[in-house]
Amino acid sequence: MTHVRGIIDDTGDTVDQLYFCSDSCDIYFDPNNVEVEVLQTTLGMNWKNDIARLEPYGGWNGCHEILTPQKCSNCGTTLYHHPQGGENEPIR
Ligand SMILES: [Zn+2]
């Protein structure tokens, strides 16, 4: 399932997040290799202006359930999402 890494502002608050298909895509993601325009679109803010920055890789952070369609920020793979967030799943 989806791996997540936070985007933090200058106070350390998480303001957004990036999604990855795997731990290895999270580890090897290099924001310097991504077009600034793409990041600004993804983040909705000026990535290169110290308003927000990607938190450093802090170890395995996977198995997140996401509710909207997302693509892996590293390889572009479409990630599985659950539109109902599991609320309608029967209790077993
Ligand atoms: Zn990936």
CA of 43 to the centre of ligand 1 (A): 18
Give residue-wise pLDDT tens across range 39-65. Answer: 555 555 555 554 567 788 899 999 998
Distance 72 CA to ligand 1 centre (A): 5
Distance from residue 91's CA to the centre of ligand 1 (Å)? 32
Distance CA(11)–CA(51), nearest Å, equals 10
- The closest alpha carbon to 15, from 60, 47, 37, belongs to 47
pLDDT at 25 over 70: yes
| C-alpha 10 to ligand 1 mean position (Å) | 27
Question: At residue 88, does pLDDT exceed 90?
Answer: no
pLDDT value of residue 79:
92
pLDDT category, 83, cuts 50, 70, 90?
A: confident
Q: pLDDT confidence of 20, banded at 50, 70, 90?
A: very high
